[in-house]
Amino acid sequence: MKTPRRFDPQQLSEHRKRLVEAGYTRHSVFLSRAVFQLLEANRRRGETLGAVIGRLLDSHLSERLPYGDVPAADVRRKAREWEKRIRHAQNELRHAQKAAQWGQPHTIRTWLLREDGSGGVVVTANGVEEFSQADYERHQAEYEKQQAL
């Protein structure tokens, strides 16, 4: 997102309206130099001072989940890791196609299994297709038959 070259009071008033509609309230505070330096030390790139304070308060004051519950951040992290595995497999298959151009053996697809055993995806260079655990077991049985011949 580009930073505007000049201050626009109209955009600021619209932004404030959106914040109020979303349930935010405005507060003015006086901070000591030590507290301000502490906030600056915890600031992430591109983050406003208000966002830093909000993030730190949310992380320290948020209700703790009971033992055994999976936090939403952990679920999102696992989903990102799964997507990363799929992208990595697709990149590997695309690079394998270069070997095919020279008549060398190459991989045309790969199976990624989910950790919970509920199935997975078949990854090709051109796409991804879901499969169940039963599909995987049927495929394994066919493969073992072919290897026995």
Per-residue confidence band for 149, with pLDDT thresholds at 50, 70 and 90:
confident
Cβ(141)–Cβ(147) below 8 Å = no
Per-residue confidence band for 47, with pLDDT thresholds at 50, 70 and 90:
confident
Q: What is the pLDDT of residue 129?
A: 86
Amino acid in the structure at residue 138: R
Phi and psi angles of residue 80, each rounded to the nearest 5 degrees, phi first: -65, -40
Q: What is the pLDDT of residue 119?
A: 83
| CA separation for the pair 94, 114 (Å, rounded) | 22
Mean pLDDT of 32-36: 90
Q: What is the pLDDT of residue 28?
A: 84
Mean of the per-residue pLDDT values for the chain?
81
Phi and psi angles of residue 86, each rounded to the nearest 5 degrees, phi first: -65, -45
Q: 93: closest CA among 140, 136, 126?
A: 126
Q: What is the pLDDT of residue 148?
A: 85
Residue 95's SS3 state is helix
129 forms bridges with which residues in the sheet?
122
Instruction: Give the pLDDT confidence of 49-106 residue by residue, as tens digits.
Output: 888 888 888 777 665 545 555 566 777 788 888 889 988 988 888 888 777 777 777 7
Look at the pTM and tell me if it is higher than 0.75. no
Alpha-carbon Rg for the chain, nearest whole angstrom, is: 26
| CA separation for the pair 104, 93 (Å, rounded) | 14
